[in-house]
Amino acid sequence: MFRQALDDKNRRREYLFRDGRPYFVLISQQFSRGDLEELCDTATAIRRLDRHRDGRGFLRGVLNGYRVMHLFSQPSTRTAESFMAAADKLGATSRSVSDIRTSSLMKGESVEDSVRTLSSFFDMIVTRHHESEFAVRASYALFRSGRPIPLISAGSGHSQHVTQSLLDIYTLRYSFAQRGGIDGKTILIVGDIARNRAARSLAYLLTKFRIRAIHFVSSKAHYPDDDLLNYIRRHDIGVHTHEALGPVLRDHGESLDAMYITRLQQEWDAHTPGERKLGTADEYVLNAEYRSLIRDDCVIMHPLPRVNELPDDWSDHPGFMVWRQVRNGMWIRAALFATIHAADLEIRARATRLSLLDDPRAR
């Protein structure tokens, strides 16, 4: 029932939201454009309040006394630390729990009992699990329990990485703040859309905006599937696929507003069986020589970690936003925490009063 509701666009909101606020955060598609705009505003308010001692003190009172369990079955230091920093900015206490298997299943306990027991000590769960369905199953266990608490998926199997796509959207919106926002922009995505959850989640979220065109660059074997391509076309977004980065930059470089680079190592895997080489084949590397083919205001992003596909030479390009993405991950996750616990209005109001945000009434 819960799983089916998740796949049904019309019933999804009923199960994943409470009082109009996200409660179980499981897939990118659950957010409306309005949800995204508000989340981004809240993230900006938090980021700016954090710059001053008073603002920091205010923020740390927002979720003071709240306890967040970070339940990670997969080692993922950077994502976990980003979530914990976000919780800390709002004054919530974090606990990292990694051995759900040791602690319960070994003794024959059900996942439902484990989740319910551990959740008893917390006000919110952030979870990452190698099994795609773990976050859904845990949410359902909480949904049915007498003491539910909100849950955020921090990456579930290969399927989705919701908060990564939220930080990417936030970074694009931030980068285009003086250029009319995300609407009307042309975006290039390098990567294996079929398997890279960051690139895939971003593509889905971009359909919430009036994007002009998306260029996908990958080997033919890893082109986006027809479902995704049709889904994007139905949103009146131009879609183009390419087999190498050089030609598309020579033909379309000047028109690009942003490039989203990810690792694409399939070709290498194919050519060197036995000897596993890390890194991306040259056709998908953003070589320094391409610099003259793109505009200075073209935004350059990467979800990290990177190997060779985005060389260090790019770090002084005016559009290089990679390190800002990392910090933005912390701000958007804090915004998500605040929104779930109905503290976002208070945060935006404080920031507006201090002239750190545009007054929404003046828009």
Cβ-proximal residues to 357 (8 Å cutoff; 6+ apart), any chain: 41, 44, 45, 48, 348, 351
3-class secondary structure, 261: strand
Residue 95 is a binding residue for a copy of itself (CB under 8 A): yes
Residue 282 is a binding residue for a copy of itself (CB under 8 A): no
Residues 175-204 contacting a copy of itself, CB under 8 A: none
Alpha helices, DSSP H, located in 120-210 = 134-144, 162-175, 197-206
Nearer to a copy of itself, 20 or 146 (CB): 146
CB of 116 to a copy of itself, least distance (A): 7
Residue 306 is a binding residue for a copy of itself (CB under 8 A): yes
Residue 1 is a binding residue for a copy of itself (CB under 8 A): no
| Residue indicated by tokens 């266990």 | 141
State the number of binding residues for a copy of itself (CB under 8 A): 48
DSSP codes joined into one string, 346-360: HHHHHHHHTTSS--G
Stretch of residues binding a copy of itself (CB under 8 A), selected from 115-123, 151-159, 252-260, 293-301: 115-123
Strand-pair partners of 17: 22
Are 333 and 22 spatial neighbours (Cβ–Cβ below 8 Å)? no
Among 73, 104, 159, 255, binds a copy of itself (CB under 8 A): 104
Torsion region of 184: left, alpha or beta (phi above 0 gives left; psi -120 to 50 gives alpha): left
Closest to 206 (Cα-Cα) out of 179, 230, 177, 237: 237
Nearer to a copy of itself, 75 or 273 (CB): 75
Residue 276 is a binding residue for a copy of itself (CB under 8 A): no
Phi, psi dihedral angles at 17 (to 5 degrees):
-115, 155
Residue 52 is a binding residue for a copy of itself (CB under 8 A): no
3-class secondary structure, 162: helix
Residues 122-161 contacting a copy of itself, CB under 8 A: 122, 145-147
Among 10, 77, 178, 292, binds a copy of itself (CB under 8 A): 77
Residues 310-339 contacting a copy of itself, CB under 8 A: 323, 326-327, 330
CB of 191 to a copy of itself, least distance (A): 15
Nearer to a copy of itself, 204 or 268 (CB): 268
Q: Give the C-alpha separation, 328 to 227, whole Å.
A: 30
**CA distances (Å), 268 to each of 36, 280, 282, in order?**
37, 7, 9
Interface with a copy of itself (CB under 8 A): 56-57, 60, 64-65, 67, 69, 75-78, 81-82, 84-85, 88, 93, 95, 97, 99-100, 102-104, 107-109, 113-114, 116-118, 120-122, 145-147, 278-279, 304-307, 323, 326-327, 330
